[in-house]
Chain A
Amino acid sequence: MSNDNGKDQNFIFRVRRFDPEKDPKPYYQDFTVPCPPGMVVLDGLWYIKENLDPSLSWRSSCRMGVCGSCGMMLNGKPHLACHTQVRELAKDILLVAPLPNFDIVRDLVPDLGPMMDKHRALNTRTIRDDGEEMLKPTDQYWQDPEDLVKYLQFAYCIKCGCCMAACPTLATDERYSGPMPLAQGYRYLVDTRDGAFKDRVKQLSGEQGPWRCHYAGECSAVCPKGVDPARAIQLMKRQLVFDYLRLSKLRYRKPAGLLPQEKRAKERREGIAEPPEFTVEGATSLQ
């Protein structure tokens, strides 16, 4: 960056505050934060908490763009606080606000619950009828690398909710499933190991489906992991339409099985650990 002169530079962090026990509505509070080159927004928030105001609240955990806790609005756009450098984004004032389209719990903490409920409602897990094998696997389900690529991009999602904050439909419509849950729905729709294509198609044809998406593309523009949920949603529409017009064979797909006995490795290769035992006593199901 051009302003990267190796020295600390003071930035104003204009943080949106809200304490449900005291404040009738959110307000902005300014903090001066010295920022060395390369410092990320999350470090600035820690600086405020440790030196200026211990009551500042937000959510974060991994500090490396993996856990999906620290999504927030930085200068009006959704970002992860832990992987966005202050100097990359701001000249002297940095606006920090909680993700919109979610209720605010406190300060920068959004209530991601409704998003997770919509995610779960789309059955975002592999559904098969060989329960015994799922519970005590004897080998891996066999999947071609080409089949993996069909959903891998969408499996990188960390459920941070940045896409949900950017989506224009979610700005008004509470019922819309939203980009994250739908991208995950597509990820399982095309996973060759899944056996519930017909049920999924039926569910997605209802109001939970992708029909409230009109490709404004904002979700893909803001996704910090390159997941491209807008792509997943359009490909989902394609599957649904092609299935409706009977141009797709996917509804006749058999879920991928185990590698045939004769093709399996004869002996376990050296140095590969045994799978762990169940940690929950009396566990009967993987769910």
Chain B
Amino acid sequence: MPEIIRYPNKLGLIGWLGGGKWGVERYLYTLHRVTGLGILLYFLMHIFVTSSRAISEELWRSTMGFFDSTVFLIGEYLVFAAFAFHALNGLRLGLIELGFLTGPAEEPVYPYKSSLNVQRPFMIVMMIVAAAVIIVGGWDFFIAGH
């Protein structure tokens, strides 16, 4: 009997970006991962950088001085924006995943409405708030303080 050959057809990492209906929530999922990784990276650096305050005033001043440049300011702003998104989207995810925003099971009637439709208004509000925070933060970062 000939061996049955199967052709592997996993989408792989491309599948994290899209593979189905390319819904908004899919992009938010991807962005949540990317911002999460970014924040984690920054946070690990942050632990070391801010620990200079435990050694001496001079070290603190020189570390802060080192990071006092436009490049780092933009970098910090990106982390700030990532945090705003990650926090507000995370709030939405937490509420959904604990079953508060999915709606109860219901008889499917065509055209089907799913839990995606139930959470969508909240998703929109969260994204608007995130955008507002990011804009106000930008003003603080680049205009108000300089």
Contact = CB atoms under 8 A, between A and B. Distances in A.
B14 A26 contact: no
Contacts of A77: 20-21
What is the interface residue range for chain B against chain A? Answer: 35 or more
B102 A217 contact: no
A168 B26 contact: yes
A217 B9 contact: no
Given A226-B109, A235-B105, A238-B99, A221 B29 contact: no
A221 B26 CA distance: 10
Contact of B105 (A165, A219, A232): A232
Given A156-B108, A226-B109, A232-B105, A20 B4 contact: yes
Main secondary structure of the interface of B (DSSP, over half): loop
Interface string B23-37: 101100110100000
A237 B98 contact: yes
B59 to A, nearest CB: 40
Interface in B1-23: 2, 4-17, 19-21, 23
Nearest to B92: A215
A164 to B, nearest CB: 10
A85 interface: no
A18 B116 contact: no
Contacts, number: 159
Contact of B9 (A20, A110, A152, A237): A110
Nearest to B26: A216
A220 to B, nearest CB: 4
A231 B102 contact: yes
B20 A78 contact: yes
Nearest to A150: B105
Interface residues of A, number: 54
Contacts of B11: 100-101, 171-172
A188 interface: no
B98 A238 contact: yes
Contact of A230 (B12, B109, B115): B115
A216 B23 CA distance: 8
B7 A149 contact: no
Nearest to A221: B21
B26 A214 contact: no
Nearest to A233: B97
Contact of B96 (A26, A110, A170, A234): A234
A65 B16 CA distance: 28
A215 B15 CA distance: 14
B112 interface: yes
Given A172-B13, A215-B97, A230-B116, A235 B102 contact: yes
Interface in A96-154: 98-105, 110-111, 149-154
B114 A172 contact: no
B29 A168 contact: yes
A96 B32 CA distance: 32
Contact of A234 (B8, B13, B99): B99
B21 A218 contact: yes
B115 A101 contact: no
B10 A231 contact: no
A234 B6 contact: no
Interface in A146-201: 149-154, 156, 165-168, 170-172, 174
25 contacts: A18-B7, A21-B5, A25-B7, A100-B9, A100-B11, A101-B19, A104-B6, A105-B4, A105-B6, A110-B9, A111-B6, A152-B107, A154-B105, A168-B19, A170-B10, A215-B93, A228-B112, A230-B115, A231-B102, A231-B114, A232-B105, A234-B99, A235-B105, A237-B97, A241-B98
Name the 5 nearest CB pairs between A and B, nearest first. Answer: A171-B15, A226-B108, A166-B20, A238-B99, A226-B112
Interface of B: 2, 4-17, 19-21, 23, 25-26, 29-30, 32, 93, 96-99, 102-110, 112, 114-116
